[in-house]
Amino acid sequence: MASNKQMYDKGKVVAGLVIFVILITFPFWYNLGKAAPAPELKLTEKAKAEKVCVMSKEEMKAGHMQLLDIWRESVVRNAERTYVNASGKEYSMSLSNTCLDCHSNKADFCDRCHNYVSVSPYCWDCHIDNPKEAKK
């Protein structure tokens, strides 16, 4: 009896399995033939001259949103506007005036990275995103 194995409702089962495999392999065919390296970030002349960010590059990469959170908290709740980093350098804790002073190329820096990982910070609802250009 077991010798003549057959699939019942073959059409429907095969159609279901094809849909399953297409869904499961989505990342493979969606990105077919694309290389997707991390976006190249442009540093402004000013940033290049300064050489270092507020924290080390590794810390900034993973933790800049938490740094911004700390800055926001100290300015808005504690009226504390000066930040001293690990190497003793002082910064005025401001999103638009400090971060975007060095990184005034927001579109080629913050946004590029954020688009790559699909995050859209709501900060720009209120904060001016490019003070330099706004002044012109």
Residues lying near ligand HEC in the complex (CB under 6 A) are found at: 41, 43, 47, 50-54, 57, 60-61, 64-65, 67-68, 71-72, 75-76, 93-99, 101-103, 109-110, 113-114, 117, 119, 121-123, 125-127
In this chain, which stretch among 46-54, 66-74, 81-89, 96-104 interacts with other proteins, using CB under 8 A? 66-74
Select 68 or 132, whichever has its Cβ closest to other proteins: 68
Give the separation between CA 74 and CA 71, rounded to whole angstroms: 5
Return the number of other C-beta atoms located less than 10 Å from residue 129's C-beta. Answer: 16
Question: Residue 104 carries which DSSP code?
Answer: -
* Residue 34, binding choice from other proteins, ligand HEC, none, Cβ under 5 to 8 Å by partner class: other proteins
Question: What are the tokens at 91?
Answer: 């910064």
Question: What are the tokens at 115?
Answer: 């688009």
Q: How far is CA 105 from CA 1, 93, 96, 108, in A?
A: 73, 19, 12, 5
Q: Which of 38, 49, 79, 86 binds other proteins (CB under 8 A)?
A: 38
77, 71 Cβ separation under 8 angstroms: no
Contact call for residue 36 and other proteins (CB under 8 A): yes
Q: Which residues pair with 35 in a beta bridge?
A: none
Using alpha carbons, select from 85, 83, 134 the residue that is nearest to residue 106: 134
What's the closest the beta carbon of residue 35 comes to ligand HEC, in angstroms? 18
In the complex, which residues of this chain contact other proteins (CB under 8 A)? Answer: 5-10, 13, 16-17, 20-21, 24-28, 30-32, 34-38, 58, 61-63, 65-66, 68-70, 73, 77, 113, 115-120
